[in-house]
């Protein structure tokens, strides 16, 4: 099967189709939210959130397997979001404090997984997901949690936009900044949770951060930003999945789906960066 | 030292504060506030950095709390209509939120690369009315167009906000505040860094607003601005030093109390005010 075939026929296989649907849903939610991450410059905080969710994932996984991992992640995400919003709102500490707190939480997560008998496969699954063996139940959960994340941002869209542009002005207009921030942080944490089965706790960063950053490079109008971010995520997901399938089936390399998709996300960003550099050169 | 006078509460006052104290947490940032501002009145809010100017603006907006005294606000369209149409206007209500209060922040903290058009920025002024769901309708669009006309920026509506000059950005944010039809407008250092044409245009807009009955509080370091458009002056330095008609308040004694060892231009003379505690 060549690459062109893989782009279509490979998805007749149920596990490939499931992986694709999960990624498309994630791309929709993460792309939309990712625009706000970029506009607000919250990449570092997002990184911190993924780390903070990890001990919850790990503890849940040990106690209750895959379903437990999800519940644990939701609990950890809620706690982490509140802690983080409180930290940044009180202006306690700085990036260093945030980094230390979240690295500590991440380490705790690793320790928890290490106590388990199935530690190697467990740790790897939690960190990098298991895109090609996502179960139907996991796929449904991903869709549900993503939809929730998207709903939170859509409901608070105007206040998010106002606050991203002008915090003082949004507060003066009567929007409570704390509430706005909690809503965005919750939706980021929800995407981290939603993505844990498919791409895992580390690679979710690519899905959350790259599309928004890329859109910012190529789009100058507000509306295009969201469309670009979502479309690019979906495209990278599709190409990445097809490529990993071709490499595994035809070439015999056993490449993990999640990492391949993440690399395609990064590749789209590099292309956009090149495009912009060229455009700037031509114009000047 | 405090010259305490009984405050004359003006008829139909847009804003009245009596014995007002505003605090961040436990620390009072501004005390002894006794002001009453009539429709169409512009107040210059003058004081050194850290003297409580922003505190007062934030207090009126309801962003920091009034820890003593009382504040009455009659700035929303409904309240203004009631006040204007009947001689016996309502007694006033205790301030909750800041309905009818427009705010013009300083532009320097705004990211010039932010991908948003001037029109989209001005539409933000309508967000509270639109609520969670509603899409902007024709009333919202015409409010935006009128506000853009009022600040003379209609032709620039589709431009990216960050690509406009500092003065145009300032006027754009003013247009945003105007879309909500405020009865009281708070301007934070509006002429900082403006060139002469933008400055003239802003003064013209302020005069137009006053003629429509909008009350204004304008923080400024510039006594010329106070002279050009303001009827009253509020001098603060951690507490209210003086409030009243411009010519009564801008006296050497008052200015000395507020500014130590700084140059102030009064009537074409440059004075170096001697300090008290240096």
pLDDT in tens, A261-278: 999 999 999 999 999 888
Out of B103, B121, B132, whose CB is closest to A172? B103
Point out which residues pair with B102 in neighbouring strands: B185
pLDDT band for B81, please (50, 70, 90 cuts): low
Q: Which residues of B199-217 are buried (b: 16+ CB within 10 A; e: fewer)?
A: bebbbebbeebbeebbbbb
* Interface A:B, Cβ pairs < 8 A: 62
Does position B4 have pLDDT exceeding 60, yes or no? Answer: no
Rama region for B271: left / alpha / beta (φ>0; ψ in -120 to 50; rest): beta
* pLDDT band with cut points at 50, 70 and 90 for residue B217: very high
| Mean pLDDT lowest among A61-70, B64-73, B218-227, B249-258 | A61-70
Q: Residue B233 belongs to what H/E stretch?
A: strand B232-236
> A interface toward B at CB cutoff 8 Å?
39, 155, 158-159, 161-162, 164-175, 216, 219-222, 225
Chain A touched by B98 (CB under 8 Å): yes
Residue B85: pLDDT band by 50, 70, 90 thresholds? very low
Strand runs (DSSP E) across chain A, as ranges?
none
In sign, the C-alpha dihedral spanning A47, A49, A52, A54 is negative
Asked if B115 reaches chain A (Cβ–Cβ under 8 Å), the answer is yes
Confidence of residue A68 (pLDDT cuts 50, 70, 90): confident
Q: Which residue has the higher pLDDT, B240 or B273?
A: B240
User: Are the Cβ atoms of A173 and B128 closer than 8 angstroms?
Assistant: yes
Confidence of residue A65 (pLDDT cuts 50, 70, 90): confident
Q: Which of A155, A158, A167 sits opposite B127 (nearest CB)?
A: A158
Identify which of B162, B113, B164 has the alpha carbon closest to the alpha carbon of residue A219. B113
Which of A163-172, A242-251, B2-11 shows the lowest per-residue confidence on average (mean pLDDT)?
A: B2-11
pLDDT in tens, B88-144: 334 433 334 467 899 998 888 888 889 999 999 999 999 988 887 788 999 999 999
Spatial contact of A247 and A118, defined as CB atoms under 8 Å apart: no
Helix (H, G, I), strand (E, B) or coil at A159: helix
d(CA A258, CA B271): 71
Task: State whether residue B130 sits within 8 Å of chain A by CB.
Answer: yes
Residue whose structure tokens are 């530690």: A119
- Residue closest to B127 by CA, chosen among A224, A223, A170: A170
Q: For position B107, what pLDDT does the model report?
A: 81
B63–A172 CB contact, under 8 Å: yes
Whether B7 has a pLDDT exceeding 50, the answer reads yes
Give the chain B residue whose CA is nearest to the CA of A156: B132
pLDDT at A60: 85
Residues of B in contact with A161 (CB under 8 A): 116, 124
How far lies B16's CA from each of A3, B38, B40, B101, B258, in Å? 74, 9, 14, 13, 23
Note whether B229 and B206 are within 8 A (CB): yes
Does B109 contact A155 at a Cβ distance shorter than 8 Å? no
Q: What is the widest separation between alpha-carbon atoms in chain A?
A: 61
Phi-psi region of A152 (alpha: psi -120 to 50; beta: other; left: phi over 0): alpha
User: Per-residue pLDDT averaged across A62-72, rounded?
Assistant: 79
B82-109 burial: b if 16+ Cβ within 10 Å, else e = ebeeeeebeebeebeebbbbbbbbbbee
Q: What does the pLDDT look like over B160-216, one tens digit per residue?
A: 999 998 888 999 999 999 998 899 999 998 887 788 888 888 898 999 999 999 999
Does position B87 have pLDDT exceeding 60, yes or no? Answer: no
Instruction: Give the model's pLDDT for residue B21.
Output: 94
> Would strands B232-236 and B42-46 be described as parallel, antiparallel, or unpaired?
parallel
- CB-based contacts of A192: which residues, under 8 Å, 6+ apart? A49, A50, A53, A73, A77, A201, A204, A208
Contact yes or no for B103 and A169 at CB 8 A: yes
pTM of the model: 0.86
Helices and strands, number each (H, E), in chain A: 12, 0
Tell me, what's the ipTM? 0.85
Beta-carbon contacts of residue B90 (< 8 Å; ≥ 6 apart): B74, B79, B82, B83
- What's the sign of the alpha-carbon dihedral B209, B211, B214, B220? positive
Instruction: State how far the Cα of A116 lies from the Cα of A101, in Å rounded to an integer.
Output: 24
For residue range B15-61, list pLDDT tens digits in order: 999 999 999 888 889 999 999 999 999 999 999 888 899 999 999 99
- Identify the CA nearest to A52 among candidates A103, A9, A110: A103
Given A172, A175, A220, which is nearest B160 (Cβ)? A220
Which residues on adjacent β-strands are paired with residue B23?
A: B28, B65
Neighboring chain B residues of A222 at a CB cutoff of 8 Å:
115-117, 120
């Amino acid at each position: 099967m060549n690459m062109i075939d893989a782009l279509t026929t490979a998805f007749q296989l149920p596990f490939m189709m499931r992986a694709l649907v999960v990624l498309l849903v994630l791309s929709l939610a993460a792309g939309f939210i990712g625009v706000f991450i970029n506009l607000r410059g919250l990449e570092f905080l997002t990184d911190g959130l993924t780390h903070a969710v990890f001990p919850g994932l790990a503890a849940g996984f040990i106690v209750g397997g895959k379903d437990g991992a999800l519940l644990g992640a939701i609990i950890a995400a809620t706690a982490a979001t509140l802690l983080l919003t409180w930290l940044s709102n009180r202006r306690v500490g700085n990036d260093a404090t945030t980094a230390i707190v979240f690295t500590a939480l991440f380490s705790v997560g690793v320790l928890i997984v290490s106590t388990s008998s199935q530690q190697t496969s467990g740790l790897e699954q939690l960190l990098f997901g298991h895109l090609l063996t996502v179960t139907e139940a996991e796929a449904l959960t991903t869709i549900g949690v993503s939809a929730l994340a998207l709903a939170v941002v859509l409901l608070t869209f105007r206040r998010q936009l106002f606050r991203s542009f002008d915090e003082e002005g949004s507060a003066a207009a009567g929007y409570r900044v704390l509430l706005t921030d909690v809503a965005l942080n919750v939706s980021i944490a929800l995407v981290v949770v939603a993505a844990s089965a498919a791409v895992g706790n580390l690679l979710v960063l690519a899905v959350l951060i790259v599309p928004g950053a890329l859109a910012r490079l190529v789009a100058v109008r507000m509306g295009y930003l969201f469309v670009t971010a979502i479309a690019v995520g979906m495209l990278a997901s599709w190409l990445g999945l097809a490529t990993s399938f071709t490499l595994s089936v035809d070439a015999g390399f056993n490449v993990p789906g999640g990492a391949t998709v993440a690399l395609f996300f990064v590749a789209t960003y590099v292309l956009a960066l090149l495009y912009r550099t060229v455009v700037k050169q031509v114009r000047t | 030292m405090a010259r305490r006078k009984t405050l004359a509460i003006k008829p139909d006052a847009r804003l009245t504060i009596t014995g007002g104290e505003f605090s961040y947490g436990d620390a009072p940032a501004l005390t002894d506030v006794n002001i009453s501002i009539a429709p169409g009145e512009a107040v210059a809010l003058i004081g050194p950095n850290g003297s409580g100017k922003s505190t007062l603006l934030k207090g009126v907006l309801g962003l920091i709390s009034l820890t003593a005294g009382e504040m009455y606000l009659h700035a929303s369209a409904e309240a203004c209509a009631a006040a204007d149409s009947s001689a016996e206007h309502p007694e006033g209500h205790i301030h909750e939120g800041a309905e009818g209060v427009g705010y013009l922040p300083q532009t320097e903290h705004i990211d010039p690369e932010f991908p948003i058009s001037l029109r989209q920025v001005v539409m933000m002024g309508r967000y509270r009315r639109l609520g969670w769901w509603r899409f902007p309708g024709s009333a919202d669009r015409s409010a935006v167009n009128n506000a853009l006309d009022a600040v003379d920026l209609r032709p620039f509506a589709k431009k990216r906000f960050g690509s406009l000059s500092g003065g145009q950005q300032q006027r754009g944010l003013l247009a945003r505040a105007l879309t909500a039809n405020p009865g009281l407008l708070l301007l934070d250092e509006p002429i900082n860094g403006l060139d002469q044409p933008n400055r003239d245009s802003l003064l013209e807009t302020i005069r137009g607003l006053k003629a429509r009955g909008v009350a204004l509080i304008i923080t400024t370091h510039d006594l010329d601005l106070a002279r050009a458009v303001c009827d009253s002056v509020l001098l603060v330095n951690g507490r209210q030093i003086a409030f009243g008609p411009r010519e009564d308040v801008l006296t050497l004694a008052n200015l000395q109390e507020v500014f130590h060892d700084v140059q102030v231009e009064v009537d074409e003379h440059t004075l170096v005010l001697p300090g008290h505690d240096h």
